[in-house]
Structure formats: C-alpha cells, structure tokens
Chains A and B, each alone.
Chain A
C-alpha cells in the first residue's frame, strides 16, 4: 500500500467520524469543532486528488472564515447543552428513510464505478498539474470568464442581503 492510500483511509475514516460527531454532539460548540476537523480532513483528501488550490481554500475559507460565522451564530442563538431531544414522528421517519435511500443509491452508484480512470481523462500528467493555483488562474481568467464575473454579482447580492437581513439599524 502506498503512502497515499494509507493516508486516504486515515482521512476518510476521520471525515466519517468527525461528520458523525457534528450530528451526535449535544453541545453545539463541540458540533462546530467537529465540523472544523471534518473540513481539515477533507482538505487532506483534496490534496490526495492533486487539488491543491481547493485544499488551501478549504482551510482558508471554510475552516477559517465560515467556521467563525458558525460560532457567532451559535453564540447569537446561545444554545444550551440541554436542547430538546428529537422525538420520533412520521415526518422524521420518512426523512430518515428518504436519506437512507439516497445514501444507498449513491453508494450503489459509486461502488459500480470501474476501477480505472474515467474514459474522458486522456492525459494523466495534466491531472497532476491542474490543481495548482497557477494552473487554475490560467484557465479561470481566460476560459471561465462568464461564471467568474457572475460570481462578483453573487458576492454583491450577498453583501446587500447580509445588510438587509441582519444589520441592527437600517
């Protein structure tokens, strides 16, 4: 087994464990901290996929900025440790069955994937090169212009939305 494969299983197991921790923890802060751990291990998986840029962003934006926002919201809501215990109700059972079904379908689909690279990957060297910030930049500002500029519109809308929804005095 190569080092990558060993690390993959380490990260994968850690992701499942920390994601489980997010939903199982009674304490909202502990939940949030599990999520941070989950984000970090996910960044590890991205590295194994040669997606260096995404891995860095995962740590910078998700584990950094977005988790701060999560914690602010938790403190804003001032959740206590003794939250209400979820009761079983028909809609909850239906939701659980639906989620389990979705999981089963996805796992089934992924298990059936051939163990080879997808046919559309013609150049394996390109896969190794592609994920660096330099390579991403080279295509993003030339070949992906329209979605890139659309993102600036999305961010502008997010600014206005944040002010409209949450600013104390408007």
Chain B
C-alpha cells in the first residue's frame, strides 16, 4: 500500500491548533490530578497556550499560500491571521473567565480546556479546504461552545441557552452537510478546488441540484454567523451563556465561521453564478445590518443589546463579503461558467475587501471581548435569577463607582458605534471603502445609516454611566486583577489600533494572498 509522505511543512499550519489542543489536554489532566484550591494557574496556562499558538500562527502568515496535508488544508495569510485573531480572543476570554468563574466558585480546568478546544477548532476550520474536514472542524468548535454555553448549568437560563444553541446548531450543521452532500453528488469530490473545477459542468447538467446544495451550505453558514433571517437564536443564547463565553462566541466563533464562508464561496461562487451569490450576500448584509440595529434599540438589557449589536456587526462584515462578489470584480456573464479566472483583473479590490474583513474581525474581537467583559465584571451571581442582572440601571453612576470600568466600557461602546479615534471606526472605514470601491454604494450608505442608528443605543449606556446617579443598593462584585488586565489590554488595543492602524493594516494586506485565487 502506498503510504503518503509528509514533510515538516505539512504540519506547520496545524501546529497552532496542536498547541491549543495540547494545552487543553494539559488543563484537563491537571484538573483531575492536581485538585488544588486555587486555580488561577489554569487561566494563565490557557493564556500562555493561546499566546504561543497565536505567535506561531503570526509567523506562518508571512509564508506564501500553498496547500498542505494532501490538500485537506491550506496555509495562507488569510487563515493564519484568523488564527491570530482567534488566539487573541481566546486569551482575553480566558482572563475574563477567571474572575467571572471565581465569583461563582465554578473555576475548573474544563472551562479553559473547552475554550482552547474551541480555538483549535476555529483555527482548523479557517484552513479547511475540503468539506468533510471543514464539517468535522466546525463540529469541534460547535460542540465546545455548546458545552461552554451550558457550563454554569444552574437555573433555567443557561439550560435554555444551551439547549436552543445545540438544537438549532445541530440543525444548521445538518443543512450544511446536506448541501455539501448534494455538491458532492454533482461533482464527485469534496475538495473545494476540485469541486470548483467540476462545478461549471455540473451546474450546466444539473442546475437544480447544484443550486440546492449551494443554498443549503449558505444557510448553514448564515446560521453560524447569525445573519438575518437565521439570527433568532442569537439573543437568547448570548444572554443565557456565561458572559465570557458570549464574548468568545461573538468574536472567535463568528470570525472562524466568516473565514470558512469566504473560503467556500470564493472557491465555488464564481463557478456557480457570481450574480446570484452577490445578490444573496447583499440582501443578507442589508437585512442583517438593519434588523440587528433596529432590534437592539429597544433593549434595556445591556447583554441582550450587545447580542443584537453582534448581529448588526455580522451585517457590516457581510457587506464586505458581498464586495468580493460585486459585479465590478467578476468578469461578464459570458465567462461565468468557465471554471477559470473570472477574478484575475480585480485582485486589488479583492485584497482590499479581504483585508477589510480581517481588520474588522480583529477590531470586533477586541471590542466585543472588552464590552462583554465589563458586563461580566458587573454581574452578581445573586441577581441572575431576578432577571435584572444586565439592566441599564446597573450601569447608572458607574463612572463614580468604578471609574476605570466605566471609561473602558465607554471606549468599547464608541468603538462598537464606529466613532473615531477607535478601532471600530477604522474597521468600518476599511470595509465600507472596499464596498464602495466595488461599486456597492447603496450597501455602504445603508451601513453608515444603520450604524448611526446604532450610536443611539451605544451612547445611551454611556449616558447612564456618566450622567445618571447610581441606583441605591446596586452592588458589584469585587474587582479581579485578571479581568482588569484583560479590559485594560482590550481598551489599549481599541484606542491604539484606532490611532495607529499602520503596521497591523499593512500585515493584513497579505490577506489578499488567499489560497487558490
């Protein structure tokens, strides 16, 4: 039997995921063998692991794009930078989790292990270039997040959130798998590059089959990134999950799902029908931006408001995805069904859009982790059953009680609203500029208008923090240095990247060197 041969190069891209997995296993084993009372070492171990994995992924990002591991995975700057963003989110999430769990006497190695497993799944998902690999890695990340959602177990809210996320997530995964199976039936391969080569002929011979496969795969991804109308689960799940988990879900899970979506559709979209793909992504983007922002406005529950805001941010990201398929960037209809280069001429525009997407994911990761981090730091276990743990009133007068947390929250909210000089502004600028350059002026205008609506509900929290007196008897848990450190780091990143995006945005320009284009 011919056994395949692997070089060192093959293992380079999966090394970050391997480090994350090893860290997770170490945490599991130490949890059962070390039974010590203080478990802060676990959070630190998780942070060290994610930093190591992130650093390795960062060095990978400067290698040329190529396929590895028999074509099941690709090593390209796009996936490597995603791993960096994911590791950043995981490290910050572990720090936030430490204080959050300590307050609830629920600090255990499993929490951090699952965080690291999820990160490994995200990293592998971002580089998957074959449908079965992609599905298995998507499930690694999903199963970890299902378990994390139900981690606290007590009370109806975590149970409801875990149950809802699991049922709907499994359903969405089934849709994706079904779609992939139909595409396999049409082309006879599950490798994205081979599928792209055979899809043109298949789309001519069996257009209905290919279209069904496409829509099912798209629906599965739309669920994972919480695009309207597949967003219904988001507020309940985000609200019921432990707040640090919500933060990681809104940042890392979304980033990995977006990157996988972009990869699949960049391979298959142009061969199938770029016009249809473009129309669908534009419609999804428009609906997601508008609905997410409109539903966030009436929320008095800050955690729920941030959940809807995360839906809205998926909409901005989707407008960046739509820019990849805009009419300007694809060749005229006549060349559509030929499998080869309908892109070539517009690689600059495509690179700009991909860079915008990655920068946005980075920006949203630090901002979202920070904002959910503040929300989590103010939560008291005792209030959770009363249902007002996240009410706006809890934020009133925060500037006097906790000046640092209030200031950090203000920075994060300004960044979410896209107000300079924060990173949120730079990210929106990049994505919307990519959309405008691709000719999607309408979508960009809609994006700017709906983010203006978003400013209202973000600033309302700032007003409560700085201009309202504190409500009597509002107590907040004691401060934890891990949480404060994570918040300070995020706030610094938000302002720093907003003022000096230079070198980071230069690095991310390599995102255009995505594999296979």
CB–CB B117/A156 < 8 A: yes
Within 8 A of A (CB), among B40-78: 69-70, 72-73
A138 to chain B: closest residue by CB: B1
Contact partners of A118 in chain B: CB under 8 A: 185-186, 188
Interface string of A132-152 (1 = CB under 8 A from B): 000000100011111100110
Say yes or no for B450: interface residue by CB 8 A criterion: no
Contact partners of A156 in chain B: CB under 8 A: 25, 117
Say yes or no for B352: interface residue by CB 8 A criterion: no
Contact partners of A66 in chain B: CB under 8 A: none
CB–CB A164/B151 < 8 A: yes
Q: Which of A109, A121, A142, A163 contacts B110 (CB 8 A)?
A: A163
Say yes or no for A161: interface residue by CB 8 A criterion: yes
Chain A's nearest CB lies how many Å from the CB of B154?
12
Contact partners of B189 in chain A: CB under 8 A: 120
CB–CB B133/A161 < 8 A: no
Q: A105-B212, A109-B212, A113-B206 are in contact. Are A146 and B28 (CB under 8 A)?
A: no
Say yes or no for A83: interface residue by CB 8 A criterion: no
Q: Which of B14, B117, B153, B188 contacts A160 (CB 8 A)?
A: B117
CB–CB A120/B188 < 8 A: yes
CB–CB B209/A113 < 8 A: yes
CB–CB A153/B110 < 8 A: no
Within 8 A of B (CB), among A95-121: 105-106, 108-110, 112-114, 118-121
Q: Number of contacting residues on A, CB 8 A?
A: 32
Task: Describe B's contact surface by its main secondary structure.
Answer: helix
Contact partners of A1 in chain B: CB under 8 A: none
B28 to chain A: closest residue by CB: A160
Contact partners of A112 in chain B: CB under 8 A: 206, 208-209
Contact partners of B114 in chain A: CB under 8 A: 157, 160-161, 164
CB–CB A160/B209 < 8 A: no
Say yes or no for A68: interface residue by CB 8 A criterion: no
CB–CB B185/A154 < 8 A: no
B148 to chain A: closest residue by CB: A164
Give the CA-CA distance A62 to B8 in the complex, in Å. Answer: 39
Contact partners of B120 in chain A: CB under 8 A: 153
Q: A146-B72, A147-B72 are in contact. Are A154 and B188 (CB under 8 A)?
A: no
Contact partners of A163 in chain B: CB under 8 A: 110
A150 to chain B: closest residue by CB: B136
Say yes or no for B3: interface residue by CB 8 A criterion: yes
Contact partners of B211 in chain A: CB under 8 A: 109
Say yes or no for B301: interface residue by CB 8 A criterion: no
Chain B's nearest CB lies how many Å from the CB of A133?
15
CB–CB A106/B1 < 8 A: no
13 CB < 8 A contacts A-B: A105-B212, A106-B212, A109-B206, A112-B209, A118-B186, A119-B205, A121-B188, A145-B4, A150-B133, A153-B121, A164-B150, A165-B147, A165-B162
Q: A110-B209, A112-B206 are in contact. List 4 more A-B contacts (CB 8 A).
A: A105-B208, A105-B215, A150-B137, A156-B117
